[in-house]
Structure 1
């Protein structure tokens, strides 16, 4: 069944009224990993997998949520909201909380949620949900909140209710993307450029380890603290330094203890910012082979210096490293599982998929799901 019709039908059956529907996509990030919360550069894009919400306002102060994927309901009043331990409702209630903190009155509402962004795959299903919710409430309540402010509120919802101190990339990509482009975003100034990425002979292919990143949230926050510790040390010598964005590789080598965790984390991030800028130049020159080589370098750094990979991710990257049909590959997302992102010659996708999935199944006993992605627009209202 068409997912939009499914969400609409479930909503009407459950609440006996017609909803308004919205969609917000998951995202990939071609290069620039763990740079966003260090005020660096990123290169994400929304993809053709999304979270869909059907919504109607209520006349009382009750929020009634139904998650189709979990077959679960969550009911609370607007004034009694609080974070739930490991609860999917946090991504919705956190958005309502942000609206309230910014002076917007939010009444009760009904919402049905359904998604086809694979959870735990590093495609930011949580940010997609946050963006769908704030976009929907902004529309239904006529709040006229600028998109960039909705992005910031969605990010803070994840900080406060889900407890993950994420950077701004996931929400920004989910909300702000346009068809057929990647976004080069400066995470300090929030200045951004849309860069065409319409290479018909090259496709973006994801292989899902099916390893869920249980460590990701806590280790993500730890990595952030380690980067901040490096900044604090360097700041003593260079007071203008505010984040790793201001730090050169020479300073990392000069002021941080070699091969310490803090050294390794900071060395990766400073190198990754330069790889992203070099990668944008490569795209502009239609040189995807050079771009792909940078992706392989990024994975090596994420695995050895930043230590957020796992043996399954490393195996997937190693499997394609010598394959001439694969220009680049790396792990993507917070780490410890999820997907690798690969640039694959479109004419040879079937052969590459058969080779990689076969070897992975032989090694780990499971066949990794494969997603061939097209780059899509960000959060939108569905016109029926």
Structure 2
């Protein structure tokens, strides 16, 4: 089964001048992702429950027998052709590919010239990790192309390294990891401190997940995302002065916050969110194992409230959608992703999504002057080669 837009990607690569040393075209794809619970804890050593969704980026890739990296974005209808690995402030989309190449070179992996054309249907700026999908599909396809034989865990770490060191977003490991290892109808319980994980079933009997895109576009590089990470890290360092054995903010206890006389109000709020998210995540794991969707929904609402009030990464538009859903008796809803816009994840009984969305969108459009989008989703598998 081929991913979206593969025929067009093949045509684009075939239109290039070809060296006699060029290899055959191979096709790969990687999914977007959602996170059920455990938001903004992946860089604090916490447990997260992400899953892949059936929106994907596809890539057509081949060796080209030269020293050039020839990269094409179908979405931007733009080429990036380069022999060097320098950050491009204009064609910023290319940095997710070049970053993988740069980080691979730093750990001794050979990267001869290649052609890569990519495109897909993951909405950009919606908090569904289109950038991580591009990093992972690049890392996986080059590993297969050049015989690196990297494990899925190392694929994820290479993608994260590209985003941290080349792109400049200090993200955690969650997005790249689940995009690498995901299975259909399952989320993973991932300990971001140890990288140990297990699959947990998401086969709802009479419930479904949908996404509502606020259409407020966010860029983590330009947002306060990095500031939030700095605040959690500084809170940890201050708490370690009174609890020297503390390894991560995720494992702190709420009463310890009052013991520290150094925490700023912002650091206190960020720590309260992380600690509360630990408790919510354990509750959701138990609820999923028991098939208790109602309890999962309650945790989603609680998570959103914490993200909005304590971590301050929501926005008026996503707050409005969540509040509207709660007022209509929807089982659960929360913003997902880095924040500052993007999508709301909604859990409700099967069959109500379209009618509820239509009613919600009418009110949303009147208030904000823009229409939201609804994305029915299925839980999908991770990065793969298309046959």
Where on the TM-score scale, by shorter chain, does this alignment land: which range? over 0.9
Query: Within 2, Cα distance between the matches of 1:210 and 1:266?
Result: 29
Partner of residue 25, structure 1? 31
Between the aligned partners of 1:98 and 1:7, the Cα distance in structure 2 is 25
TM-score of the pair, normalised by structure 1: 0.95
> Residue by residue, what CA displacement relative to the aligned partner does 1:77-127 show, whole Å, maximum 9, x if unpaired?
1xx211122611110011011111111111000110102100000000000
1:323 deviates by: 2.0
- Tell me by how many angstroms 1:202 deviates: 1.2
Q: Distance in 2 between matches of 1:243 and 1:223?
A: 15
Kindly indicate whether residue 44 of structure 2 is the aligned counterpart of residue 38 of structure 1. yes
Gap change, CA 1:358 and 1:68, over 3 Å in 2: same
1:307 paired with 2:312, answer yes
Which residue of structure 1 lines up, in the alignment, with residue 104 of structure 2? 99
Residues 302 and 235 of structure 1: CA distance in aligned 2, closer, same or farther (over 3 Å): same
Q: Which of the residues 193, 207, 212 maps onto 1:207?
A: 212
Q: Report the alpha carbon displacement of residue 362 of structure 1 after superposing the two structures with TM.
A: 1.8
Offset of 1:355 from its aligned partner? 1.6
Q: CA deviation at 1:218?
A: 4.2
1:261 aligns with 2:266: yes
Does the alignment pair 1:70 with 2:72? no
Partners of 2:169 and 2:116 lie apart in 1 by 24
Specify the SS of the correspondent of 1:130.
helix
Q: Deviation at 1:33?
A: 0.3
Can you list the C-alpha shifts for 1:125-183, whole angstroms capped at 9, x where unaligned?
A: 00000000010001111111111011111100001111000000110111110000000
Deviation at 1:351, TM superposition (A): 1.6
Q: Distance in 2 between matches of 1:117 and 1:180?
A: 19
Give the secondary-structure state (helix, strand or coil) at the position aligned to 1:95: helix
Distance in 2, Cα, partners of 1:52 & 1:285: 36
Q: State whether residues 318 and 335 of structure 2, in contact with CA within 8 Å, keep that contact through their aligned partners in structure 1.
A: yes
Query: How many residue pairs get matched?
Result: 380
2:6 corresponds in structure 1 to 4
Alpha-carbon contact 1:213-1:338 (below 8 Å) kept: yes
TM-score w.r.t. length of structure 2: 0.95
Q: Does 1:353 align with 2:357?
A: yes
Per-residue deviation at 1:217?
4.4
1:274 counterpart = 2:274: no
Structure 1 residue 359: Cα displacement: 1.5
Asked if 1:48 is matched to 2:54, the reply is: yes
* Aligned equivalents of 1:329, 1:377: Cα separation in 2: 23
CA distance in 1, matches of 2:253, 2:175: 26
Whether the 8 Å contact between 1:121 and 1:338 is mirrored in structure 2 is yes
Alignment RMSD: 1.6
CA deviation digits over 1:12-54, x for unaligned, max 9?
2345685211000010001110000000010000000011110
- Residue 131 to residue 15, structure 1, CA distance change in 2 (3 Å): farther
Unaligned runs of 5+ in 1: none
Matches within 5 A, 1:1-384: 3-14=5-16, 18-77=24-83, 80-85=84-89, 87-214=92-219, 217-255=222-260, 260-324=265-329, 326-383=330-387
Contact 2:58 2:119 in 1 (8 A): yes
3-state DSSP class of the match of 2:117? strand
Matches of 2:347 and 2:313 in 1, distance apart?
21
